[in-house]
């Protein structure tokens, strides 16, 4: 076997495979360069999903002719003034983007600095660098990437359709646009079709910092997210967490709409994703995911951004601090939201009542004696009688003729004055019970429909959690203590946390150099796999410095017990009980959703109800 040194062109293509695995990666690198250059506007053009052309134009600082010649050489950068890789304050710092892209495509860079008489252009084709030539171009830089991967045809076989590649590139631009609202972005596709247009957003006259970010996120994620997201701003030991977190009832089937940033850099880090999941774990079902956009700012020396070729992952010096900051901040802001649920719940309910969308059996409509059929005119008129929306007659009849499931409140149970006073509460005054499951309450400006089982389930769960946090966890003594064999390091970690684990109901102690003995376990866990529990705890303490799994398991058991111990659907409640439930919901955090992320109540404003009946 003979050892040989690889030729420079092959080395560059191998490096390009790490940095530029698809068009979206090239777009990301070029847009990051434009942001680092101080651009206030960045325009991206894509043809055939970026395979035929990627053009990124900015109005940043630009480069001189000598700097441009150096910029296409490997490991040449202006963004790392010293040699300390722990002091990185820019998005790019390796000097690999342009040479890696040029190794697998036909690259042209045209740039001009402010104050220079002319621009300079330089081409790189398949790794072969041309000469720098004068060119015409305004202040800033334009990078054109044509025929991406023509020099490595095998890579083309692993790419998706042009539309999919285009969407991936668009997503890369959107993620960066979230972190930099002061920069305007445009993305155009084939035939100059506008795919994205974002104007620069600046702080308002009051100097609010969060206002531009919320406006940018509303433009990218929709008004529903902006209206139903909670503001986060927390600090701990030099770390700052800011951004927006969606209410639990605003959830999705995947974690695709979770956007996480570290020092302005979009990342997909397992630690951060796990922290978000841990914060929402007792508000959502396992298959549902919250919508969040979180920005973590920290000292450069406390985070290593050089652990992933595409800089998509980071490593923190104190991962437990970061996880605790995220989990604690999210839970605090969700608790402060009280019983609030997302407005999308009410919008969905109103959508179900839209005229023409109500399902009903096919029944002939007879002319009501109250209609003046001869003089009626309008869009819903046909023949001698108005053409009412399907199911309208049956729905109206149900209102005037309550069925067996409706339990009206006793007329003398609440005086008129007391009822008016209760209507001023957020969830109003109880007026009746439908199908022995849903409480109907009247507020000063609308109505509220409460799922009694889901609401009481949340109330019971919060009481149980309060007992856990107070340290009053019931223990169950094992008839035969369990001896669990572990590494010496894991034994030492568990022994050092023995007091903390005892507060959660798990009593253990070191049993020689390579084992621990478990004497008591939390009673809530019932029959549990002690070996598996202790091993998981040891791994979590080694990774995060906390016994997270035990807390989460106890909370999960509490959720199951709360579900079985709450007021069941089908139970008839009197008015006093219904009002007591409403008042307790208003005073209990997270009561807007049950433990599985479903809403506990729907609020319909009077103005929306009046629109349904054409009164507005």
Say which residues have a Cβ less than 8 Å from residue 252's Cβ, sequence separation at least 6: 288, 289, 290, 291
Q: How would residue 194 be classed by pLDDT, with cut points 50, 70 and 90?
A: very high
Residue 535 CB-half CA count within 13 A = 11
Give the H or E element holding residue 408: strand 406-408
Q: Would you call 189 helix, strand, or coil by DSSP?
A: coil
Res. 549: pLDDT tops 90: no
More confident residue, 186 or 312: 186
Q: Look at the alpha carbons of 277, 279, 282, 284 in this order and tell me if their dihedral is positive or negative.
A: negative
Q: How would residue 24 be classed by pLDDT, with cut points 50, 70 and 90?
A: very high
Q: How would residue 13 be classed by pLDDT, with cut points 50, 70 and 90?
A: low
Smallest CA-to-CA distance from 106 within 140, 69, 70, 72 is with 72
Res. 343: pLDDT tops 70: no
What is residue 58's predicted lDDT score, i.e. its pLDDT? 96
Range with the lowest mean pLDDT among 195-204, 306-315, 386-395, 425-434?
Answer: 386-395
- The single residue listed with the structure tokens 């007992």 is 467
Maximum C-alpha span of the chain: 101
Q: How would residue 463 be classed by pLDDT, with cut points 50, 70 and 90?
A: confident
- List beta partners, residue 341: none
Q: How much of the chain is in helix, strand and coil states, percent to nearest 5?
A: 40, 25, 40
Give the mean pLDDT of 566-592.
82
What is residue 232's predicted lDDT score, i.e. its pLDDT? 93
Average pLDDT, the chain: 79
More confident residue, 282 or 261: 261
What is residue 240's predicted lDDT score, i.e. its pLDDT? 95
More confident residue, 52 or 212: 52
The top-level CATH class assigned to 8-198 is alpha beta
Q: Could you give the percent of the chain with pLDDT greater than 90?
A: 32
What is residue 415's predicted lDDT score, i.e. its pLDDT? 53
More confident residue, 108 or 283: 108
More confident residue, 129 or 616: 129
> 10 Å Cβ neighbour count for 348?
12
- The single residue listed with the structure tokens 């509460």 is 425
Q: How would residue 165 be classed by pLDDT, with cut points 50, 70 and 90?
A: very high
Q: Does 8-198 match 210-336 in CATH topology? A: no
Res. 385: pLDDT tops 90: no
Range with the lowest mean pLDDT among 247-251, 409-413, 529-533, 545-549?
Answer: 409-413
pLDDT in tens, 201-238: 876 655 544 578 888 999 999 888 888 889 999 999 99
Q: How would residue 537 be classed by pLDDT, with cut points 50, 70 and 90?
A: confident
Q: Could you give the percent of the chain with pLDDT greater than 70?
A: 75
Res. 258: pLDDT tops 50: yes
pLDDT in tens, 361-384: 444 434 333 333 333 333 333 333
More confident residue, 454 or 299: 299
What is residue 336's predicted lDDT score, i.e. its pLDDT? 82
Give the mean pLDDT of 566-576.
76
The top-level CATH class assigned to 405-616 is alpha beta
Smallest CA-to-CA distance from 103 within 60, 62, 148, 162 is with 148
Annotated domain spans of the chain = 8-198, 210-336, 405-616
What is residue 298's predicted lDDT score, i.e. its pLDDT? 92
CA gap 569, 560 in Å, rounded: 16
The top-level CATH class assigned to 210-336 is alpha beta
Res. 311: pLDDT tops 80: no
What is residue 172's predicted lDDT score, i.e. its pLDDT? 95
CA gap 571, 435 in Å, rounded: 9
Give the mean pLDDT of 473-492.
88
CA gap 390, 10 in Å, rounded: 69
Is residue 35 within 8 A of residue 91, CB to CB? The reply is yes
What is residue 517's predicted lDDT score, i.e. its pLDDT? 94
What is residue 587's predicted lDDT score, i.e. its pLDDT? 85
Is residue 20 within 8 A of residue 101, CB to CB? The reply is yes
Q: How would residue 123 be classed by pLDDT, with cut points 50, 70 and 90?
A: very high
User: Which DSSP string do the residues of 16-77 spell out, in sequence order?
Assistant: HHHH-SSHHHHHHHHHHHHHHTT-SEEEEEEEGGGTSEEEEEE-S----HHHHHHHTSTT--
Rg (CA), the chain: 31
């Amino acid at each position: 076997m003979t050892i040989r040194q690889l030729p420079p062109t092959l080395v560059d293509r191998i490096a390009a495979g790490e940095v530029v695995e698809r068009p979206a990666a090239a777009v990301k690198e070029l847009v990051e360069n434009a942001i680092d250059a101080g651009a206030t506007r960045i325009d991206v053009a894509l043809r055939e999903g970026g395979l035929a052309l990627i053009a990124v134009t900015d109005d940043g600082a630009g480069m001189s002719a000598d700097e441009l010649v150096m910029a296409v050489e490997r490991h040449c950068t202006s963004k790392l003034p010293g040699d300390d890789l722990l002091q990185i304050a820019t998005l790019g710092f390796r000097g690999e983007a342009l040479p890696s892209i040029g190794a697998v495509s036909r690259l042209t860079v045209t740039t001009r600095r402010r104050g220079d008489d002319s621009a300079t252009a330089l081409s790189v084709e398949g790794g072969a660098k041309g000469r720098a030539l004068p060119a015409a171009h305004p202040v800033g830089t334009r990078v054109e990437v044509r025929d991406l991967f023509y020099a490595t045809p095998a890579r083309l076989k692993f790419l998706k359709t042009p539309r999919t590649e285009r969407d991936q590139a668009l997503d890369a631009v959107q993620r960066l646009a979230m972190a930099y609202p002061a920069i305007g972005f445009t993305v155009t596709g084939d035939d100059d079709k506008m795919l994205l247009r974002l104007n620069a957003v600046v702080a308002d006259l009051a100097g609010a910092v969060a206002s531009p970010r919320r406006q940018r996120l509303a433009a990218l994620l929709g008004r529903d997210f902006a209206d139903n997201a909670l503001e986060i701003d927390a600090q701990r030991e030099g770390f700052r967490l800011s951004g927006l977190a969606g209410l639990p009832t605003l959830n999705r089937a995947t974690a695709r709409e979770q956007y996480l940033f570290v020092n302005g850099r979009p990342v997909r880090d397992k630690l951060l994703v796990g922290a978000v999941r841990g914060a929402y774990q007792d508000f959502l079902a396992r298959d549902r995911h919250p919508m969040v956009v979180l920005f973590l700012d920290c000292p450069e020396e406390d985070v290593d951004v050089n652990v992933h070729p595409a800089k998509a992952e980071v490593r923190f010096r104190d991962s437990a601090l970061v996880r605790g900051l995220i989990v604690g901040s999210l839970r605090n802001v969700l608790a402060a939201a009280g019983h609030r649920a997302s407005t999308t719940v009410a919008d969905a309910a109103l959508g179900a009542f839209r005229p023409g969308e109500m399902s009903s059996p096919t029944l002939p409509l007879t002319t009501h004696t109250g209609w003046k059929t001869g003089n009626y005119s309008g869009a819903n008129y046909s023949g001698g009688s108005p053409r009412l929306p399907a199911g309208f007659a049956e729905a109206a009849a149900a209102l005037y003729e309550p069925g067996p499931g409706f339990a009206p409140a006793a007329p003398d149970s609440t005086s008129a004055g007391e009822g008016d006073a209760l209507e001023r509460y957020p969830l109003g005054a109880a007026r009746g019970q439908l199908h022995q499951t849903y409480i109907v309450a009247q507020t000063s400006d609308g109505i509220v429909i409460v799922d009694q089982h889901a609401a009481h389930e949340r109330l019971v769960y919060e009481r149980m959690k309060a007992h856990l946090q107070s340290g009053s966890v019931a223990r169950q003594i094992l008839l035969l203590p369990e001896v669990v064999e572990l590494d010496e390091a894991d034994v030492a970690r568990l022994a050092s946390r023995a007091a903390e684990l005892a507060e959660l109901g798990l009593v253990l102690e070191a049993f020689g150099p390579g084992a621990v003995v478990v004497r008591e376990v939390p009673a809530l866990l019932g029959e549990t796999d002690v070996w598996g529990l202790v091993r998981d705890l040891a791994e979590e303490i080694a990774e995060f410095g906390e016994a997270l799994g035990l807390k989460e398991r106890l909370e999960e058991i509490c959720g199951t017990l709360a579900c079985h111990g709450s007021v069941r659907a089908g139970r008839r409640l009197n008015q006093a009980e219904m009002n007591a439930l409403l008042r307790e919901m208003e005073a209990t955090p997270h009561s807007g959703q049950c433990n599985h992320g479903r809403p506990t109540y729907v609020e319909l404003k009077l103005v929306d109800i009046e629109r349904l009946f054409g009164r507005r």
